[in-house]
C-alpha cells in the first residue's frame, strides 16, 4: 500500500451525504469568519465595558466555531483509520468534535510555547552571558561563532518540534484518547521506525498545503476583481471603497469556507493512510 493523493482528493465525493456534511462544516467556518469581521468593526468604535464584553464573547464563539470543524477532521481521520468504508463521519456530537479540536490545538500550542521559551533562553540569556563573559578577552568575535551555531541549533530544534508535534497528533488520532498525545511507543514507531514513510507523509502534507494556499490566493484575486466590479455598479448610491470592502468580505467568507472544509476532508484521509501503513500491525492502533 502506498500513499494515494488521488484517493485523498476524491474519497469524500463517494459519501452520499457529502454536500450536507460540507454545508454544515462551512456553516461553522462562515460563522467564525463573520464574527471576526464584526470584531474588526468593534475595534474601531469607542471602547467601553459593553463593547469589550461583547467583543470577548464573540471571540469565544469564533474560536468554538473554528475548533468544531477542525475536530471534525480529527474524528474523520480516526474513522478513516478504523473502517474501510468510504464515508465521512456525521455531525451529531458537536461537543465531542469541539473537544477533539481543542485538544489537537492546545497540545501543539503548549509544545510550541515551551520550544519558544527554550529558543529565547538560547538566544537571549545564553548570548548575553557569553557576550559579557568573552567581550573583554576576545573583542566579541566568539559571540558571532556562538550565534552561528545557535541559528543552526534553532533550525534543528524547529524541525524536530514540527516532526514530533505532528507525530503526537497522529498518535492521538489512533484512539482519540488524551494520553495518546504522549504515547512514546507510538511516536517512536511513527517517527523513527517508519522514518521514510513519515517524511513521505510530511511531503504530501506540504504539497497539499501549497495547493490549498494557491487555490485561496486565486480565489482572493478573483474575489477582489468581482467585488470592485459590483461596487462600481452600486457606486451611484454608496461610497465605492466601502461597498467594495463589504462585498469582498462577503465573497471571501462564502468562497474560502468550502475550500478550507474540503481540505479538512483531504487531510483526514491522508493521515489515515499513513497510520494504516505504519500502525496496522502494531498495538498502537
pTM: 0.83
What lies within 8 Å, CB to CB, of 195 at 6+ separation is: none
Q: What is the pLDDT along the chain (285 residues), one digit of tens a residue?
A: 577 888 888 888 988 899 999 999 999 999 998 898 888 888 877 878 888 888 899 999 999 999 999 999 999 999 988 887 778 899 988 999 999 999 998 888 888 788 777 777 766 665 566 556 555 555 556 666 666 777 787 788 888 888 898 999 999 999 999 999 999 998 989 888 888 889 889 988 988 999 999 999 998 888 878 877 776 666 555 555 556 677 777 888 888 999 999 999 999 999 999 998 887 545 444
Q: Is the dihedral of CA 226, 254, 60, 209 positive or negative?
A: negative
Maximum separation of any 2 CA atoms in the chain, in Å: 74
Q: Is the dihedral of CA 81, 97, 214, 229 positive or negative?
A: positive
DSSP-based three-state secondary structure for 201:
helix
Amino acid at each position: 500500500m502506498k500513499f494515494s493523493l488521488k484517493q485523498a482528493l476524491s474519497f469524500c465525493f463517494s459519501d452520499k451525504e457529502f454536500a450536507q456534511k460540507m454545508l454544515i462544516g462551512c456553516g461553522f467556518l462562515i460563522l467564525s469568519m463573520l464574527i471576526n469581521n464584526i470584531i474588526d468593526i468593534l475595534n474601531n468604535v469607542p471602547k467601553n465595558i459593553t463593547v469589550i464584553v461583547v467583543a470577548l464573547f464573540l471571540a469565544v464563539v469564533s474560536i468554538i466555531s473554528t475548533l468544531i470543524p477542525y475536530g471534525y477532521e480529527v474524528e474523520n481521520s480516526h474513522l478513516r483509520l478504523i473502517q474501510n468504508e468510504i464515508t465521512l463521519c456525521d455531525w451529531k456530537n458537536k461537543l465531542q468534535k469541539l473537544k477533539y479540536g481543542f485538544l489537537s490545538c492546545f497540545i501543539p500550542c503548549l509544545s510550541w510555547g515551551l520550544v519558544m521559551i527554550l529558543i529565547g533562553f538560547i538566544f537571549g540569556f545564553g548570548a548575553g552571558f557569553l557576550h559579557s563573559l568573552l567581550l573583554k578577552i576576545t573583542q566579541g568575535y566568539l559571540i558571532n561563532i556562538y550565534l552561528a551555531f545557535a541559528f543552526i541549533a534553532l533550525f534543528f530544534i524547529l524541525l524536530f518540534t514540527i516532526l514530533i508535534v505532528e507525530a503526537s497528533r497522529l498518535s492521538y488520532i489512533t484512539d482519540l484518547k488524551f494520553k495518546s498525545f504522549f504515547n512514546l511507543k507510538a511516536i517512536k514507531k511513527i517517527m523513527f521506525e517508519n522514518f521514510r514513510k513519515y517524511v513521505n507523509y510530511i511531503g504530501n502534507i506540504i504539497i497539499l498545503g501549497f495547493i490549498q494556499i494557491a487555490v485561496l490566493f486565486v480565489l482572493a484575486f478573483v474575489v477582489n476583481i468581482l467585488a470592485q466590479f459590483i461596487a462600481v455598479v452600486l457606486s451611484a448610491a454608496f461610497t465605492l471603497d466601502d461597498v467594495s470592502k463589504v462585498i469582498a468580505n462577503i465573497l471571501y467568507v462564502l468562497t474560502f469556507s468550502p475550500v478550507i472544509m474540503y481540505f479538512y476532508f483531504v487531510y483526514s484521509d491522508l493521515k489515515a493512510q499513513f497510520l494504516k501503513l505504519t500502525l496496522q500491525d502494531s498495538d498502537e492502533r
